[in-house]
Amino acid sequence: MHEMSIAVGLMDQVLEIAKVNGLKEIDEIEVETGFLRQVIPEVMQEAFLAVRRETIAQNATLKIVEIAPLSECNICKKQFEPQLNDFLCPECQKADVKVLKGDEIILKSIQGKESK
């Protein structure tokens, strides 16, 4: 359900960057979604269709690459893959972690045509 909020934020950023770089039309947008952010690709694509309307990205495609999660135990420094509902360190049995990967949504690149 938060895909729409994310798509709106994404599009603001994309249009800003396109302007700075003199793009007149956007063909492809690539994002990396961390697993822990629970972005459902199909829902995100739907939201994207709504926000690209009547912009220079109206014909653009959205490429979504999901990033697997990785966390590090603050107590014993062991690195492990957490589950959405389970951040327990396999060694310490405590959930006291730093998330190294999978907690961010990153705009990787924008591909498009330059003005003239």
Partner 1 sequence: MKVTVAKRILKDNDMIADKNREIFRDAGLLAVNFISSPGSGKTTLLEKTIAELLPEQKTTVVVGDLQTTRDADRLVPNALDVAQINTGMSCHLYANQVADSLLGLNISEADYVFIENVGNMVCPGEFDLGENVKVVLLSIPEGDDKVAKYPTIFRAADLVLLTKVDLLGILDFDLERVTNDIKKLNSNLEILHISSVKGQGMNEWVSWLKAKRQQNVGAKAKFITE
Of residues 7 and 73, the one with the C-beta less far from Zn ion: 73
The phi and psi torsions of 40 (rounded to 5 degrees) equal -90, 115
Closest CA to 109 of 45, 29, 24, 48: 29
In the shown chain, the binding pattern of residues 72 to 91 toward Zn ion, with x for contact by CB under 5 A and - for none, equals: -x-xx-x----------x-x
Select the span of 40-48, 50-58, 59-67, 90-98 touching partner 1 (CB under 8 A): 90-98
32 DSSP β-pair partners: 65, 106
The reply to whether 15 sits near partner 1 by the rule CB under 8 A is no
The reply to whether 4 sits near Zn ion by the rule CB under 5 A is no
Select the span of 36-44, 49-57, 61-69 touching partner 1 (CB under 8 A): 36-44
Q: Check: CB of residue 109 under 8 Å from CB of residue 31.
A: no
Select the span of 14-22, 40-48, 66-74, 108-116 touching Zn ion (CB under 5 A): 66-74
Instruction: Tell me the residue type at 18.
Output: A
CA distance 86 to 35: 13
